[in-house]
Chain A
Amino acid sequence: MKTNNLLLQSVTQVVTFLIFAFSIYLFFAGHNNPGGGFIGGLMTASALLLLYLAFDIQSIKKALAFNYVNIIAIGLIISLATGMVSMFLGGPFLNQYDQYVHVPLFGEVHLTTAVPFDLGIYLVVVAIALVIILAIGEDA
């Protein structure tokens, strides 16, 4: 029987971008609202999982040519480097700095070093979730 995924694929092409936008919102809302790197990473992973559900592993591998194992390493390096910057500046490990900066388009912005640390967590969560799912889902 020839099956047809047209409905699922059409819905996925729209919904994936909504989930991506929601995950990015959750990532940046984490400082003052519920959210953060962990749940944002899980939402991004679920958006990519929806792509894998609607299409197939080979097509998505061609479209998103990431090696997720390397992304885990990159995320860990970003988090550790953020923690070690404060050591070179004379503070203890994982000391955080924040500053109010005037950015032309956004106005007064509260920049913290917790954001790159969260970015590392985000990358690790996305990559680990997808590595687990693909390792189980990929048949030999």
Chain B
Amino acid sequence: GASGQVDGSWELKILVTDLQVEPTLRVNGDLHIGGVMVKLVESLDIAMDWSDHALWWPEKNRWLKRSRSTLDQYGVQADAKLHFTPMHKNLRVQLPDLKIMD
């Protein structure tokens, strides 16, 4: 199948939450996180401010924030479902006076 490449590369799917698309990237385990984001943005080819976006790993409940760390170092394999999503999101807060603010 597609995973049986001799160069050791494999396919990683990343959900881009803003666009609701899930492109497939061909990667190697020694690709670093910053490189994954660059590759992803290049594959999307959409002029957009991505500066607040980062890779989120829902299953592990963690951001992949160390740009120099590799997929191998984070333990990301082909079955991982990663999201590329804004780090700042809207939050609804109920204050002590019971007022609700967005």
Interaction A to B: no
Give me the interface of B with A, judged by CB distance under 8 Å: none
